[in-house]
Amino acid sequence: MKELKVDILKFVKDQNGNHVVQKAVERIPTEHISFIVDVFRGQTHALAVHTYGCRVIQRILEHVSPEDHAFMLEELHVCTPALIPDQYGNYVVQHIIEKGRTEDKVKAVKVVQAQLIQYCKHKYASNVVETAIEFGPKDQREAILAHLLAPINENANNTLPKTQLAMMMTDQYGNYIIR
């Protein structure tokens, strides 16, 4: 671990080094790897949107002490709106919704609800919406579904009300949520 400590961010961002860091987080007692979390302070957003950093963050959320876990989640909650549509950040948010504590799931799904339709039609964010529908708290899942099923009025000439759900059936990303 002493060798890793010198330049941990270099290893996290490395194609092979990130696997070493992930295994260290999974297998070494928290007190011996807390330096990793310390280095992440203030870097959480940048690492969450990194190809390999997002994987390390997920392992950290699974295996570190509650104190380290709490600090990282505070930083992640601040940047959740930016992570949801990100190519790699969306995996971190999905991880929180699927495996996180109830209070963290609620915070993440609230962000999804705030921009639900835009996220449904976005390549990466639509994956987070799917995860929210599957793993979010029951009341929030029901609210998302109610929003999708609610009638919308595009113009006064429509005789049949349309729903967001019907609109998304033809959207290139929204249709996956419907499935």
Domain ranges of the chain: 1-83, 109-179
To the nearest whole percent, how much of the chain has pLDDT over 90?
65
- Averaged pLDDT score across all residues of the chain: 90
Name the pLDDT band for 148 (thresholds 50, 70, 90).
Answer: confident
Q: Looking at the predicted structure, is the pLDDT value of residue 53 above 70?
A: yes
Which residues are CB-contacts of 71 (< 8 A; sequence separation ≥ 6)?
A: 37, 41
Q: What is the pLDDT of residues 85-121, one digit of tens each?
A: 999 999 999 999 999 999 999 999 999 999 999 999 9
Amino acid 87: pLDDT: 98
Amino acid 163: pLDDT: 77
Angle, alpha carbons 93-90-56 (nearest 5°): 75
Strands (E), 20-179: 151-152, 162-163
Q: Is the pTM of this model over 0.75?
A: yes
- Tell me the helix, strand and coil percentages in the chain, rounded to 5: 70, 0, 25
